[in-house]
Structures are given as structure tokens and as C-alpha cells.
Structure 1
């Protein structure tokens, strides 16, 4: 049995079967449709969220777990004799990391719990969590796991192609006039996340296909002949373009493995339906 336990939160967008197989503990954020409150990826699954979204007149909101939520998980795992590595959504986007850090401070001195700011979102850090859990399963030390997570975090290339500007506008990221004009011109924003974990507008293109082509162009120039693994994340019921992007990447890059996952309710509440996330990890060697 692994001596290191891996903890994360629901915005890592790791499929349930993968979390279960690797023994990953997940603390959920909350999604609120007005007065109705749901636990992300527990009482509200991605497909249910995207079915509810167009029927709701307002804008769903989200909230972070409390320190008490994390404390309960940390105490349980420590009582089992585990060291804990806890990896979370970018602190620049949410107080989730801070809640986990506060929970750690409430433990007895000397308790072996490490809390990491992924400086990323969705499966951009979900892959970090999965790798950490695989290393823990294979007997790696907490120090080795933390070092590999930090290395992978620096290697990640991440892009979101947003299908509709409505949610960026409602969330205050763009103005209403820009949203209206962008919709008329079929503008697809390409978002990324910088080294500090802050979302920024990387580029934009007229139409999804041109947005994909721009991403592939940048990756080809940046990565060159290095082999890569990548994951594409889509919103259930709105997967148009994912197969096309996958094919473009396989033709342009030396792809060794790829995965597919869903963009969960919390990320979807801010990015909107039809968003496609791409998470590319160059490998160390051939």
C-alpha cells in the first residue's frame, strides 16, 4: 500500500474511474444555480450541469471548499499513517489553494502534508495529480513526487478555445460590446494561463478551425521534434471539433499518448458550453 496519499479538488477534471483506480482523494467545490447548491462532480456531474445550463435564466456561481473540508480529509489520511501531497487549482483563480493551506496549518506540527499551487486549471493540473498518484502507487517519496509535479507544471502548454463569448462577458472578462461584435464575426478567443497561474487572452481567430490551426502552429514551433502526451477536454453535449483538433495534433507532433476528459461544472460555469481545452506535456526524451 502506498505511503503517500494524493489529494486534489474537483476542478482537476479527473474522471471518476481514474480517481478511483489511483486512490486520489477529491474535495469538491460547489456550484450554485440560484438557491440550489451542488457538489461539483459528486451531486452534479458534467453532463447534468450542461443540461441545466441553458434552462437557467441567470449565471451559475461557484464557491471554494472550506478549510474544514480539507482538514477532515488530511486528518483521515494522516491517521492512516500517510504522508499527503495536495495539489490544487491556481491560487490566482480561486481561494481553494488557500483553504487547503489553512487546513494544513491547523494540523499538529511535524505532520507531513505538502500543499501545491498548480498554477493551472482543469486537466492542466489533473495530469499532475494523476502522475503524482501513479508515483505514489509505485512507492515514490513525497519529495520525489513534489519535484516531478513542479517539473511537469513548468512543461505544460495549455489552451482553451472558447465557443461562446456570453460567459466571458457575464463573468466580466470582456465588455458587452466586444461580446456582441465577437459573436457577429464568429470570433473564437484562445485563452491560456501564464506561469503565475493567471488566465490571459493568448490570441483570437475567426472560427474554430482557424483557432485550432493557430494553436498547432505555435506548438509545432515551440516543441519541435520532442514527443508529447496531450489531453483534450470538452463539454458534454458540445464536442464538435475535438476529433479534428486531435487529428491536427497527431499530424503535426510526435504524439505518444492522448486522453480525453470532460470540462467539469466549475470550469464550465466560467468558460461556457462548447469550450475545448488542450493540455500538452512534452516528454523528457524519446
Structure 2
């Protein structure tokens, strides 16, 4: 029986067991330490990555999958399931991953029913969209209905994140419009987000973690008051803070689905340790 299959990349930071349960196909990016290359989440776990990050003198870099890698995944899914395929990826402002997937789509032409989507987001802000789409696919919803839901989530999903340092974003060239903050962070906690184009920008500057948390909660209240929510918190070596933030969210909002996950090696290479990212999308069920 034909069904819809959902593809994403490793920067969605979806926990492995959840991706397996929902039959989400995850295409890995790579992280490089000098001459050494590792597939994100395949041969380098988040724990191993941050340990290596702390011990290595070289700043890691990252690279996207090739169009051929995507083409192989799409052809395999088409052959084994004869499905419609929806492929959702990291913001094109942060990586060439979407472009690789798009080139693969153009190469395959009409031989495969395939939609390739620029999420304009990163980490589990992609994940909330991918997971909702995969749940609909498992429930037997047709591609058209899943695409309509994805397009709505692309409008309604918001993410805010806090970093301990802008060093990684700056050195890896992903700092975007937050560059104005460099050199001005003494006792200041920047709240960052992604704009409509999928580029990092400074949402607000506050003094200290506590005020940053309060400001994010106030913004979510304004955006989602009384709505049922899917909340995903991703972190890099900040599990305690992630769990505390989720506890607070649970007290204040109607959370129908929640995920706490590690920020993987590729996103971690750009934000560094101590990062906390909170993604929210309204749910319809």
C-alpha cells in the first residue's frame, strides 16, 4: 500500500528512538575536526562531540550531504514503498543541505513524487514540524493534507535560543543579523531567533538567564495563549536547564506533546556548549 514517507536531515535533532518509531528517514550531515570527518549522530554522538570539542584546539566545521546521497535515499524509498515523499530540511540560510536535496529532486524529475521543503529553521524547531508530519503519515493522511499542515506549521512555529557565547556562530559564519551583538555581551544574555528567511537574528538582550527565560515565556504567552502545543527543547550540555524550562512551560501551557533532546554535533559546532533552544508549534488534535 502506498503511503507518505518523511525525510529530514540530522540537524533536526530528533531523538533516534522517536525517528525510528515514526519511520522518519534521517540523512546525516558531517562534522570535521581537521582532517577527521564524522557523520552527525551516526559515528559521533552528541556526548562524544562535546567531549571532543572541549579537548581539541581546532574549531570544527560542517558539510552538507551531497545531492547523490539524497537521490539514493529518495530512490530507495520509492522502490520499497512506492510512496509520496516529503523532505524537510535545515534553513537554506544556514546550510547547503536544502540545495542538495533540491538538486536531487530536479535530477529525479517526475519519476518520484517528492516535495522538498526549506524549513527556515534549525535543530528541533525542524523536528517539531517533521514529527507532526510523520505522525500524520502514520495515521494514513494523504500527501495533500500533510503538506497543508506543514505549510501551516511553517507559519506558526517559533523558536528562541540562548547561547553562552557567540564565538561559534561568528567563527562558523552563521551569526547572521546577530553580528551586531559581538563584543557587547558583558552580563547580557542575548535571546536569538530565526527570522522569516531562516537567518539568525537578535530577538532581545536581557540581563541574566532568569530574565531571558521570563521574556521567552511572555512571548510564548502572547503567541499561543490557551492553544494546545507541541514543545521541543534542545540543548547542548544543559539538560538541567532544559528540564527546568520544560517544567515551567508545563505549568503555564497546554502541552500535548513534549520532547527534550540533545543538540547534535553539526548544530553544536555552530552554537557551542551551554545552548538552550525552545521550539513551539500549535497542534490541531
TM-score (norm 1): 0.92
Match status 1:209 vs 2:213: no
Corresponding residue SS for 1:109: helix
Q: CA deviation at 1:108?
A: 4.5
Match of 2:125 in 1: 124
Instruction: Give CA deviations for 1:167-220 in whole Å, capped at 9, x if unaligned.
Output: 2343353679934x52xx332211111122121111122221111111011111
Question: What is the alpha-carbon distance in structure 2 between the residues aligned to residue 189 and residue 171 of structure 1?
Answer: 18
Match status 1:233 vs 2:234: yes
Match of 1:64 in 2: 64
Match of 2:44 in 1: 44
Q: CA deviation at 1:166?
A: 2.7
Count of residue pairs the alignment pairs up? 281
Match status 1:137 vs 2:158: no
Segments of structure 1 that go 5 or more residues without pairing to the other structure are none
Corresponding residue SS for 1:85: strand
Question: What is the alpha-carbon distance in structure 1 between the residues aligned to residue 115 and residue 2 of structure 2?
Answer: 16
For the 8 Å contact 1:2–1:138, the answer to whether it is kept is: no
Question: What is the alpha-carbon distance in structure 1 between the residues aligned to residue 134 and residue 37 of structure 2?
Answer: 30
Instruction: Give CA deviations for 1:207-254 in whole Å, capped at 9, x if unaligned.
Output: 21111111011111222222322111111x332422332233233333
Match of 2:253 in 1: 253
TM-score (norm 2): 0.92
- Following superposition of structure 1 onto structure 2, how do residues 104-119 of structure 1 map, counting pairs within 5 Å? 104-119=105-120
Distance 1:55 1:106, change over 3 A: same
Corresponding residue SS for 1:42: coil
For the 8 Å contact 1:232–1:279, the answer to whether it is kept is: yes
For the 8 Å contact 1:125–1:153, the answer to whether it is kept is: no
Match of 1:192 in 2: 193
Match of 2:4 in 1: 4
Match of 2:83 in 1: 82
Q: CA deviation at 1:32?
A: 0.2
Q: RMSD across aligned C-alpha pairs, in angstroms?
A: 2.0
Question: What is the alpha-carbon distance in structure 1 between the residues aligned to residue 226 and residue 121 of structure 2?
Answer: 25
Corresponding residue SS for 2:246: helix
For the 8 Å contact 2:128–2:281, the answer to whether it is kept is: no
Corresponding residue SS for 2:239: coil
Q: CA deviation at 1:106?
A: 1.2
